[in-house]
């Protein structure tokens, strides 16, 4: 280790694509699920394909409890767990930034789509393309973000990646890559900024 010089800070997190399909029911959004699934320890984001049907017990957002339900036949899922700086306010900011980045990816892959972000949701025209939640476990913060791949199985009017002719794996690769780069550059930015004096 001695003698090693890097101009950048150590990588801030690890990204990973899961090959196997996983039916998401909300129980995946728990502490150490990524560790159990992949063996990765520490801050990490995984992506995978699979159906979505969140049970009432696993709904983290209380606003969803009396809603139409959270379901889709096929979604592209992202699960992100952070063990460093686990505050819920920071987690929600990470979630919003992830949504904003997903919109940027969408615009790069489908430039003519009428896509927009509303809070943590992405819409295409009148159709809701994504779902998302940020929450806390006793030892970490957790974020789920998912986009419809197909139109079927959802209880509300939705948009989907297939209609936009976006390949799910390409979208995943792009969003994972941009998120790792952004977290890395955030860590570097924090390490290079001077504090401002109070007395002047």
Taking residues 5 to 34 in sequence order and writing x for each that binds its own copies by CB under 8 A, - otherwise, the string is xxxxxxxxxxxxx---------x-xxxx--
Q: Which residues 131-150 are close enough to bind its own copies by CB under 8 A?
A: 133-140, 142
By CB under 8 A, is residue 59 in contact with its own copies? yes
C-beta closer to its own copies: residue 31 or 164: 31
Q: How far is the CB of 152 from its own copies (least distance, A)?
A: 27
End-to-end CA gap in the chain: 43
How far, CA to CA in Å, does 65 sit from each of 14, 58, 60, 68, 69?
32, 10, 9, 9, 8
By CB under 8 A, is residue 122 in contact with its own copies? no
Measure the CA–CA gap between 94 and 142, rounded to whole angstroms: 10
Measure the CA–CA gap between 35 and 51, rounded to whole angstroms: 21
By CB under 8 A, is residue 52 in contact with its own copies? no
| Residue from 57, 68, 69 nearest 26 by CA | 57
C-beta closer to its own copies: residue 40 or 151: 40
Q: How far is the CB of 41 from its own copies (least distance, A)?
A: 4
């Amino acid at each position: 280790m001695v003698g090693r010089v890097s101009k950048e800070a150590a990588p801030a997190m690890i990204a990973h694509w899961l090959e196997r399909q996983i039916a998401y029911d909300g129980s995946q959004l728990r502490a150490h699920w990524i560790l159990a699934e992949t063996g990765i320890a520490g801050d990490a984001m995984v992506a995978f394909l699979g159906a979505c049907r969140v049970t009432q017990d696993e709904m983290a957002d209380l606003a969803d409890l009396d809603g139409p339900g959270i379901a889709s036949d096929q979604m592209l899922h992202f699960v992100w767990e952070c063990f460093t700086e686990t505050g819920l306010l920071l987690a929600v900011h990470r979630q919003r930034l992830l949504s904003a980045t997903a919109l940027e990816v969408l615009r790069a892959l489908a430039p003519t789509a009428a896509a927009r972000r509303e809070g943590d949701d992405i819409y295409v025209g009148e159709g809701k393309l994504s779902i998302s939640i940020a929450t806390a476990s006793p030892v970490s913060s957790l974020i789920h973000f998912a986009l419809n791949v197909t139109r079927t199985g959802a209880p509300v009017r939705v948009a989907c990646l297939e209609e936009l002719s976006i390949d799910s794996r390409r979208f995943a690769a792009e969003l994972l890559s941009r998120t790792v780069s952004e977290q890395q550059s955030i860590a570097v930015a924090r390490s290079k900024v001077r504090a401002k004096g109070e007395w002047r």
